[in-house]
Amino acid sequence: MTLYDIAINTLAGSPSSLADHRGRSVLVVNVASKCGLTPQYEGLEALHERYADRGFSVVGFPCNQFAGQEPGSADEIATFCSTTYGVTFPLFEKIDVNGENRHPLYQQLVEVEDADGYRGDVRWNFEKFLVAPDGSIERFAPTVTPEDPVLVAAIEAALS
């Protein structure tokens, strides 16, 4: 089963998957509203807008596993993201990215090593996984900002 075949609900609760993004570049990010890294929403939205017409999308997965920094309901998360950061990229249901209830999507993603050789549990909010159109995946630490030249270069390469 590929990442595109895994069932997941939208933030509004409708059944979905990443199938709509098959053949595109997708930046998968576990997000949170009350984190020191939350301002990354602004940069993620900028990436989403900048590259959307080239077959790119950011997709966000709210997660409350890191110091309870995503405590809100789906409605609260949607309102916060749209009014505070103007988020238009797709947001999915709140999930676990670590532990025995880890969502199947993240069961596959955490097997990927980042540039420093780290593989395993998601370390914090805003860890990023760039899925290229061919299905290859690159992993980026939470502290790698959306504006980081390394991430931007990886997105550019995935889109070429």
Strand, helix or coil at 82?
helix
Q: Residue 114: what are its φ and ψ, rounded to 5°?
A: -90, -175
Angle, CA of 72, 78 and 80, to the nearest 5°? 70
User: Which DSSP letter does residue 55 get?
Assistant: T
Catalytic site residue from 3, 29, 35, 47: 35
User: CA 152, CA 1: separation in Å to the nearest integer?
Assistant: 28
Q: What are phi and psi of 121, to 5 degrees?
A: -50, 145
Query: 35 near 126, Cβ under 8 Å?
Result: yes
* Contact status, residue 29 vs residue 59, Cβ threshold 8 Å: yes
Q: Which residues contact 118 (CB under 8 A, 6 or more apart)?
A: 139, 141
Verify whether residue 35 is a known catalytic residue: yes
The residues assigned a catalytic role are 35
